[in-house]
Amino acid sequence: SQQGEEDPQALSIQEGENATMNCSYKTSINNLQWYRQNSGRGLVHLILIRSNEREKHSGRLRVTLDTSKKSSSLLITASRAADTASYFCATDRGNNRLAFGKGNQVVVIP
């Protein structure tokens, strides 16, 4: 089954810097979604990008999708301490069955 895989696995940055995470997957998708999770709590939906879209913005978030390379990236600009969390990408083939990557731990140092 397809599964998103994030890279890098862990990221430590200073407050105000940008954070970039990449995600790769193996098969065709309907859409790709990014989620944030704080300390083993529920997942917070960040952004959904459709397979026919190449870039999407939401506040300080920018997501790109390259279906030819089967990859996506999440950019968080001007990071804040509150952005400290685990970030997951999840692929959806259109059947609501999300396939998650292992997650990317981001630590923002004040």
Partner 1 sequence: KAGVTQTPRYLIKTRGQQVTLSCSPISGHRSVSWYQQTPGQGLQFLFEYFSETQRNKGNFPGRFSGRQFSNSRSEMNVSTLELGDSALYLCASSLDRSYYEQYFGPGTRLTVT
CB of 80 to partner 1, least distance (A): 22
Q: How buried is residue 104: exposed, middle or buried, by Cβ count under 10 Å (0-12/13-18/19+)?
A: buried
Report d(CA 50, CA 65) in Å as an integer: 8
Of 12 and 58, which CB lies nearer to partner 1 in the complex structure?
Answer: 58
Q: Which of 12, 55, 78, 94 binds partner 1 (CB under 8 A)?
A: 94
Report d(CA 94, CA 110) in Å as an integer: 40
CB of 16 to partner 1, least distance (A): 29
34 binds partner 1 (CB under 8 A): no
